[in-house]
């Protein structure tokens, strides 16, 4: 029996270990650790990669969302429209600044927010929309921006799963008022710890995020606003500079693995990932849907294959969001998806033997069920 983990961080580290260790040693030798040269250089490099004018490093993707909302002028009591099919941090960031998450159902093919349902949720209190680029695929940004411009709303991309994803030839992070990325270690571009960044073409938003991440500092002894301790760590920035150079290559490998899965799983009673027209998916996750999800997951575990569920419970039904008053059935497409989705192993270092073994195990499960 093979043993294929859901994510193999050690395999990703091994080829760059020597370079990473040198970068860490150089950073500690210089001891310029507070928004130092690596942080500043990485901000410029990542902005250029995304095609954005500015990038401001922060401590996590959650802080990126929170600071971007604040910088865009979202206030306590304002409403922010977003998807219920996302990691909890998307709604958490809205709530933490005193704003109100408003959930709109998803498109069943892309798992991103359904633009057809957004406008009906806009009220006099709506200040922003956070489309989530789910699993590595951008939301329908043209239509979302069109609605936002009509109603004077900020558009904050949650691009935490979409480093390098394309929409109409443009990269995520340069498609709205601001883009928010996480560098959590399992991401397509991951640090070896925590990290995040806000990208934008708006100089005012960039400057405000710089204030919020660093206690509102305008000089050593002056604080213009009440801010936070939310800086990007200098050592993590040094590591991210190395890994950024590899991102496009690694995304290409992910796409190749996904194409292999699509070919080998075709014809089974599954819903396979859909890449929408005008978009390029970077497959942070490879997510299938099965009416027998839990049994399939258990079978794959028996075969030594790691899997995940992203995410089992939609955000609007989380206990922490109960104060908003949503009930089961409020957002039916997302709820149905959460009951059926299963993430298969997806990382650059997978081999063809690995993906073939995984696909054959899925096929074997359905043969046992008499459905393959």
Structural domain contains residue 164 = yes
Judge if 310 and 222 occupy the same domain.
no
Asked whether the beta carbons of 94 and 82 are under 8 A apart, the reply is yes
Judge if 235 and 333 occupy the same domain.
no
Rounded (10°) CA dihedral 149, 154, 159, 162: 10
pLDDT digits (tens, 9 = 90+) for 128-138: 999 999 999 99
Judge if 211 and 281 occupy the same domain.
no
Judge if 168 and 294 occupy the same domain.
no
pLDDT digits (tens, 9 = 90+) for 11-57: 999 999 999 999 999 999 999 999 999 999 999 999 999 999 999 99
What pLDDT does residue 220 have? 86
pLDDT-derived band at 372 (thresholds 50, 70, 90) equals: confident
Judge if 279 and 344 occupy the same domain.
yes
pLDDT-derived band at 272 (thresholds 50, 70, 90) equals: very high
What pLDDT does residue 117 have? 98
Judge if 213 and 279 occupy the same domain.
no
Judge if 141 and 230 occupy the same domain.
yes
Judge if 269 and 280 occupy the same domain.
yes
Count of structural domains within the chain: 2
Judge if 63 and 166 occupy the same domain.
yes
pLDDT-derived band at 370 (thresholds 50, 70, 90) equals: confident
**Full-model pTM:** 0.97
pLDDT-derived band at 342 (thresholds 50, 70, 90) equals: very high
pLDDT-derived band at 62 (thresholds 50, 70, 90) equals: very high
Taking all residues of the chain, what is their mean pLDDT, rounded to a whole number? 97
Answer with the one of 212, 244, 276 that is the final residue of a domain. 244
Domain carrying residue 67: 9-104+111-244
- According to the 3-state scheme, what is the secondary structure of 231-294? ECCHHHHHHHHHHHCCHHHHHHHHHHHHHHHHHHHCCCCCECCCCCCCEECCCCCEEEECCCHH
Structural domain contains residue 4 = no
pLDDT digits (tens, 9 = 90+) for 68-91: 999 999 999 999 999 999 999 999
């Amino acid at each position: 029996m093979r043993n294929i983990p859901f994510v193999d961080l050690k395999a990703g580290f091994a080829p760059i270990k020597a370079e990473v260790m040198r970068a860490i040693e150089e950073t500690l030798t210089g001891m310029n650790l507070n928004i130092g040269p690596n942080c500043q250089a990485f901000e410029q490099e990542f902005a250029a990669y995304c095609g954005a004018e500015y990038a401001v490093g922060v401590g996590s993707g959650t802080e990126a969302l929170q600071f971007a909302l604040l910088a865009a002028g979202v206030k306590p009591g304002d409403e922010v429209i977003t998807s219920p099919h996302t990691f909890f941090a998307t709604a958490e960031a809205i709530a933490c600044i005193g704003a109100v998450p408003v959930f709109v159902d998803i498109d069943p093919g892309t798992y991103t927010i359904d633009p057809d349902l957004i406008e009906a949720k806009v009220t006099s209190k709506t200040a922003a929309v956070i489309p989530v680029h789910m699993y590595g695929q951008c939301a329908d940004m043209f239509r979302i921006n069109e609605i936002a411009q009509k109603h004077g709303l900020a558009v904050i991309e949650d691009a935490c799963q979409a480093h390098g994803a394309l929409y109409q030839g443009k990269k995520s992070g340069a498609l709205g008022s601001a883009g928010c990325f996480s560098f959590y270690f399992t991401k397509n571009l991951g640090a070896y710890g925590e990290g995040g960044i806000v990208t934008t073409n708006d100089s005012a938003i960039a400057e405000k995020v710089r204030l919020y991440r660093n206690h509102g500092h305008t000089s050593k002894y002056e604080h213009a606003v009440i801010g936070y301790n939310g800086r990007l760590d200098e050592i993590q920035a040094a590591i991210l500079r190395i890994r950024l150079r590899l991102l496009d290559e690694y995304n290409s490998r992910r796409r190749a693995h996904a194409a292999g899965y699509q070919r080998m799983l075709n014809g089974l009673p599954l819903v396979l990932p859909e890449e929408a027209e005008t978009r390029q998916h970077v497959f942070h996750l490879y997510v299938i849907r099965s009416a027998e999800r839990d049994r399939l997951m258990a079978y794959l575990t028996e075969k030594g294959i790691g899997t995940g569920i992203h995410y089992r419970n939609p955000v609007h039904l989380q206990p922490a969001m109960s104060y908003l008053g949503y009930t089961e059935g409020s957002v039916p497409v997302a709820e149905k998806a959460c009951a059926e989705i299963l993430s298969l192993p997806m990382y650059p270092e997978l081999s063809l033997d690995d993906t073939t073994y995984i696909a054959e195990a899925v096929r074997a499960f359905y043969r046992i069920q008499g459905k393959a």
